[in-house]
Structure 1
Amino acid sequence: MELKLTDLDISEGFERLVLAEDASSGLRALICVHSTVLGPAAGGCRMWDYADDAEAIADVTRLARGMTYKNAMAGLGLGGGKSVIIGDARRDKTPAMMRAFGRAVDALKGMYYTAEDVGISPEDMAHAAAETRYAVGLSGASGDPSPWTAEGVFRCLRIGAAHVFGSDDLTGRRVLVQGLGHVGLSLAQKLHEAGAELIVTDIHAAALEEAKTRLGAEICAPDAVFEQRMDIFAPCALGGVLDEHSSAKLQARLVCGAANNQLTSPGIAEALRTRGITYLPDYVVNAGGIISVASEIHRTGDRWRRERLDGIAERVAEMLARASAEDRSTELIADEMVERMLREASAA
């Protein structure tokens, strides 16, 4: 059976949702394009063992919308999209599957650029790139975007710390890093070098042991995160970690991390604000990875990437100043900034 693409019904405000299936390789993937108003959609490919199609669709659509906002705020000249491959990346993934995924991306004819995300490596993306020129984040080009994501989060975290604590000096600050993948571990390294006291949690024992041995981190169980005393919470695993229950228990004063879609609903940002907790919107602070990928799409270099990292930091400072002056959440301020960009682009 050859690759089969099926357009699925999609919510208003989205442009396209495609189911890609290839029986010979076992591929079953979803590609969602939220917006191409600012340019072709760009966003990573995630591989995850979803419980069912509904869960996968909910994730890919939420992530695609987030990419529109992230790319707009970072000033990349790109729209927002995302893809997910349904399956266990440790067990099911093969080069043939990734090549089939590449053919699915290619069938969209440049409407969507893909790159690596959770469960997908630059090597995996190289297999996809054998079938399409719209696969980026490749070794020898922009490469693994995770160090750039970690650098952007770290810069924004220091700006947030200066706003909340009066200084960006992290010496002695208790920072809990939830998730020690490529980005989380890189961020933990930067925090350690800045003098922070690290608390870490992850579902993989080897990652925890590395952080304990190399960075002197304190380990906490995944289900004990919100029992911990901390100054800063850095969610770097999957999304939806802050809901009504967990946000009410959180003991940090600043939230700044790399995970996408950290809040289960927009109201959580306001709930945090009323408790005196400053939340830095994830789609703003974690844009370093897509900045790196965008440099490959636009064929620019390190200077372009660093200028846009500086731009993210400036926007965070602007958000914080406006949120304080207007007594509103940073999430509302950030969304308004993006929506104005989209309106102006649409009108033009």
Structure 2
Amino acid sequence: MPIAIAVHSTALGPALGGCRLWTYPDWRDGIEDALRLSSAMTAKTALAGLANGGGKTVVALPPGTHLDVDDRRAVLHDVGDAIEAFGGRYGTGPDVGTGVDDMVTIGERTDHVFCRPASHGGSGSSSPGTAAGVVAALRATVAHLSGPADPAEHSPQAPVEKSSFAVVGLGSVGADVARRLAVAGARLVVSDVRPDAKALADELGAEWVAPEEALTAEVDVLVPAALGGVLTPALVPQLRCRAVVGPANNQLASPDVAGLLHDRGILWAPDYVASAGGIVHAVAVELYREPEYVVAARIERIGETLTEVYRMAAESGVAPATAAEALVAAKLTQATHS
């Protein structure tokens, strides 16, 4: 089974990035995905203030592959052996297709693994931390959209109860984000490809629509919470939101979409900023051994980081993606010359 491990940067410290177990038309597509995702992880860790770089593991399953329990275990052991060969320069955690129990299996071959269950010495699921970070990012975005003329005065703690959100994807993170927004009193439109997810919409008093309708719903903020590539050049003209902020990785189908969104006046929070809460939680708990209240404060600072990105973008007249890339480059350059 092809296993690709991409280490994009160790300028700030050992690289981190989840293990993705997914089906690809061709194994080379898996390598391309690993390279792209590892670059995003470098940006994520840098702007999250972590002393780590970016990496990624991709197990590229051929179409139609079904792994039984023994096959899955064998593949994950191979992943662990490959990670161990890096000698600590790279560590992994859960990603699409893997979970906390899989990290236990990988951990049988290497210590460089995060998010094992607490019973196995880990920090558990990264989903709650990711959701908390997304909500902090949403507060910062609402503040930017409705705040004072001076972007420097925006508060990342702005309430969300007067805003509307379309959450597309009700997996572990998307469902958590939706619940947090509902508790805050926000108006919600939600969707998922799984019909049984409608039960959550009913529970939250949210409007349930098909995913394609949710993407173009008339709301303040669109929250992509499923797989990436959802923001395409064809979709941008159909959007009826003021901003896009969500946990889905690689939301842009192509880099030029960031400019298309900017040209339409739609604020896009770089996904690697908004989705950093999970890795912040894992690293702060497992490496820094910080108490939960300190970890929670770290995650809340995602809102402050995004506010800074918005401020830089507004001052320079560029898209937030461009401002975020400049911040990442500055941090990596500083680390290289220090």
Whether these two folds match at TM > 0.5 is yes
Q: Unaligned 5+ residue runs, structure 1?
A: 1-26
- Residues 31, 46 of structure 1: alpha-carbon distance in 2 compared, 3 angstrom cutoff: same
Which letter does structure 2 place at the counterpart of 1:76?
L
- Residues 172, 310 of structure 1: alpha-carbon distance in 2 compared, 3 angstrom cutoff: closer
Q: Note if 1:145 corresponds to 2:126.
A: yes
CA distance in 2, matches of 1:53, 1:323: 38
CA distance in 2, matches of 1:324, 1:40: 33
Q: Could you tell me which residue of structure 2 aligns to residue 105 of structure 1?
A: 83
Stretch deviating more after TM superposition (314-323 or 217-226): 217-226
Q: Unaligned 5+ residue runs, structure 2?
A: 148-154
Q: Could you tell me which residue of structure 1 aligns to residue 45 of structure 2?
A: 71
Stretch deviating more after TM superposition (65-74 or 227-236): 227-236
Q: Could you tell me which residue of structure 2 aligns to residue 281 of structure 1?
A: 270
- The partner residue of 2:31 within 48, 52, 57 is 57
- Give 3-state SS (helix, strand or coil) of 1:200's partner: strand
Q: Note if 1:165 corresponds to 2:154.
A: no
**Residues 1-348 of structure 1: pairs in structure 2 closer than 5 A:** 27-87=1-61, 91-92=66-67, 94-140=72-118, 141-166=122-147, 168-206=158-196, 208-301=197-290, 302-348=292-338
- Structure 1 position 134, deviation (Å): 0.6
Alignment deviations for residues 228-270 of structure 1 (CA, whole Å, 9 cap, x no partner): 2222100111111112111121111011100111112333222
- How many residues are paired up? 321
Q: Could you tell me which residue of structure 2 aligns to residue 20 of structure 1?
A: none
State whether residues 236 and 261 of structure 2, in contact with CA within 8 Å, keep that contact through their aligned partners in structure 1. Answer: yes
- Structure 1 position 48, deviation (Å): 1.2
Stretch deviating more after TM superposition (283-292 or 300-309): 300-309
CA distance in 2, matches of 1:111, 1:293: 17
CA distance in 2, matches of 1:249, 1:143: 39
Q: Could you tell me which residue of structure 1 aligns to residue 151 of structure 2?
A: none
- Residues 90, 74 of structure 1: alpha-carbon distance in 2 compared, 3 angstrom cutoff: farther
- Give 3-state SS (helix, strand or coil) of 1:31's partner: strand
- Residues 295, 312 of structure 1: alpha-carbon distance in 2 compared, 3 angstrom cutoff: same
State whether residues 89 and 119 of structure 1, in contact with CA within 8 Å, keep that contact through their aligned partners in structure 2. Answer: no
CA distance in 2, matches of 1:177, 1:216: 13
CA distance in 2, matches of 1:303, 1:132: 29
CA distance in 1, matches of 2:209, 2:334: 46
- Structure 1 position 305, deviation (Å): 2.1
Q: TM-score, normalised by structure 2?
A: 0.89
CA distance in 2, matches of 1:131, 1:54: 26
Alignment deviations for residues 140-173 of structure 1 (CA, whole Å, 9 cap, x no partner): 1211111000000101101101111349333353
